[in-house]
Structure 1
Amino acid sequence: MSNDVQDLAARAGRSDSLELLARIGYAASGLIHLLIAWIAGQVALGGSGEADQSGALQQLSGTPVGGVLLWVCAAGFAALAIWHLVEAAVPHGGSTKDQFFDRGKAVGKAVVYGALGWTTFQVVTGQGSDSGESTTSATATLMQAPAGRILVGVVGLVVLGVGAYHVYKGVARKFLEDLKGTGGGEVTRAVEVLGVTGYTAKGVALGIVGALIGLAALQADPDQETGLDAALKTLQDQPFGWILLLLVAIGLAAYGIYSFARARYSTM
């Protein structure tokens, strides 16, 4: 990577405005997770709804200030995507292996937040689509490619791995490395509990998504539903599923509240 690109990335990384928007992006992520948790809780108790990003964004759009909040969320997600791209571009310390891992993780986060920003933009401009259907459609399209079943299987394993990492990050409290102490002190016990609960619950949800994608590959079924909404409703279909879904909903709500703390205390 050229020095000019690294210098440009370093200057962008020192932008107070970009940092503020990126912190708003973490808060926006918290709001979305709270709405997903609310919908999932309603489904667990016999209600209906689409418990994923699109469902949360559509619910948000129906509020009196929904349009303004959606634009703020879109800007925050876009800023987070740019922030992580900058993080991938600037020099990293450590071994070559560690640098490669850190850059790859930063690019992955940039893709995730970029996709969230794009989805939010589509909703606020009236072009929103069902994210569950989009995920299923993407799986079906990939299935038709040469060695498509293998590719879908690999995607499933990757998502499963990301879910497992979230569980590990929560249980091992690795997320504390992302935070700076409150007022120069230690991160509060409440934030720590929220992080452990939230990361674990989100990891379980992502793990089920990965398993559904893997199942689509094994069965060569391009119509297998593979999104977050399908994953949570698959959980509901298990014995005592409504209890399991309710527990995951509580965990996702914890992740949402933790994200607000991260917006304030994240090490940027």
Structure 2
Amino acid sequence: MADVSDQAEQLGRRAHSSEWTDRAVRVGMVAYGIVHLTIAWLGIQLSFGDHSGAASRNGALHQLVQQPFGEFVVWVVAVGMFLLVIWKLLEAFVDLTVEDGAKRVLKPATNIFKAIVYGTLGVAAVHVATGSKSKSSTNDATATLMDQPFGRWLVGLVGLAIIGYGGYLVYRGWAGKFLEHLDPQGRSGESGRAYEMFGKVGYVAKGIAIGVIGVLFLYAAIDHSAKKAGGLDQALHKVLHQAFGPVLLFAISVGVGCYGVFCFARARHLSAQR
């Protein structure tokens, strides 16, 4: 039994460090960057009063599919996301075998969470590319959770977890922790300084947007109303209706676009830590 476990571990390590895995991650990062740039464009349009598109992952995918060769691009996004799922699951397995202490649990859990995020985006891309409709929404999922025993508490915990993740992204951006994803060449020279700027602005902006989503979940838990919860589009609309909302929304949207640009930089200068 131990031999089988050791062989599985060695296979996982070889797959994780292979050239094909590098290529898969690069494709996935480019696809992820495209989605974020499209969301940023929709958010900028929203800040100028154009409400025709939803500034969310689904809105971005629908925007992409309407462009020339759009269906092909959306399929590339779908494939890229599923490649990232495989990568993150491989990382979760490798982290489980090499990390000690709290990291032995936290790092694999983080990688599994990211795999779920990439997977849901990949599934959404398949729905858009094939013209089928997704059977669930954030509000539907929240309503289902709300109907469970201690449902309001569960929704509140989800909200706190989302806020925590948003705060974590802000911290990584502010502290420059994201630079570990770039190889030495990507961290040096004028291009390195540019990548650092894009990453810092992008991580902070994305963290703020995700934090607003978490606040919406908390509102839903407090009011016992699933309609209060929502995804990125609803969060950005919430920002829009605040004091100086259009300016804030424009700034956040530009920041999300910066995150997309950093995804391209990450694809080009993929570090050993990935």
- The normalised TM-score by structure 2 is 0.92
Which residue in the other structure is 1:95 paired with? Answer: 100
- Kindly report which structure 2 residues correspond to 1:7-18, keeping only aligned pairs within 5 A, or say none: 7-18=10-21
Q: Offset of 1:266 from its aligned partner? A: 2.5
Aligned equivalent of 2:33: 30
Q: 1:105 aligns with which of 103, 110, 113?
A: 110
The aligned residue for residue 223 of structure 1 is 227
Does the aligned pair in 1 maintain the 2:187–2:196 contact within 8 Å?
A: no
1:32 counterpart SS class: helix
Letter paired with 2:245: G
Find the counterpart in structure 2 of residue 206 from structure 1.
210
Q: Which one of the candidate residues 127, 131, 149 is aligned to 1:146?
A: 149
Q: What is the one-letter code of the residue matched to 1:157? A: L
Deviation at 1:183, TM superposition (A): 6.8
Q: How far off is 1:264 after superposition?
A: 1.2
Between the aligned partners of 1:120 and 1:7, the Cα distance in structure 2 is 33
Corresponding residue for residue 64 of structure 2: 60
Change (3 A) 1:209 1:184: closer
Match for residue 118 of structure 1? 123
Residues 245 and 183 from structure 1, CA distance in 2 versus in 1: closer, same or farther, beyond 3 angstroms? closer
Q: Could you say what the CA RMSD is over the residues aligned between the two structures, in angstroms?
A: 1.8
SS at match of 1:46: coil
Deviation at 1:94, TM superposition (A): 4.5
> Hey, what's the Cα distance between the residues in 2 that align with 1:207 and 1:129?
25
Deviation per residue, 1:81-114 (Å, 9 max, x gap): 1001001112554532122221111111111111
CA-CA distance at 1:72 after TM superposition: 1.2
CA contact (8 A) 1:163 1:206 kept: yes
**For structure 1, which runs of at least 5 residues remain unmatched after alignment?**
none
Aligned-residue offset at 1:184: 8.6
Q: Distance in 2 between matches of 1:160 and 1:60?
A: 29
- The number of residue pairs the alignment matches comes to 266
2:184 aligns with 181
Give, in angstroms, the shift of residue 11 of structure 1: 2.9
Structure 1 stretch displaced more, 4-13 or 229-238: 4-13
- 2:230 aligned counterpart, secondary structure: coil
Between stretches 116-125 and 232-241, larger displacement belongs to 116-125
Q: 1:27, CA displacement in angstroms?
A: 0.9
1:237 and 1:201 mapped to 2: Cα distance? 18
1:73 shift after superposition:
1.2
Q: Distance in 2 between matches of 1:195 and 1:42?
A: 22
CA gap 1:183/1:143 in 2 versus in 1, 3 angstroms: closer
Q: Distance in 2 between matches of 1:164 and 1:152?
A: 18
Paired letter, 1:253: G
For residues 107-148 of structure 1, the C-alpha deviation after alignment (integer angstroms, 9 at most, x for no partner) is 111111111111111111111449xx7111101110001111
Q: How far, CA to CA, are the matches of 2:206 and 2:10 in structure 1?
A: 36
For residues 44-90 of structure 1, give each alpha carbon's deviation from its aligned partner in whole angstroms, at most 9, with x where no partner exists.
10111200000000000001111111111111110111001001112
Taking structure 1 as the reference length, the TM-score comes to 0.94
CA distance in 2: counterparts of 1:266 and 1:214, whole angstroms: 37
Q: What is the CA-CA distance between 1:21 and the residue it aligns to? A: 2.0
Q: Counterpart in 2 of 1:21?
A: 24
Confirm or deny: 8 A CA contact 2:199 2:259 kept in the other structure. yes
CA positional deviation for 1:3: 2.4
Q: Please state if 1:168 is matched with 2:171.
A: yes
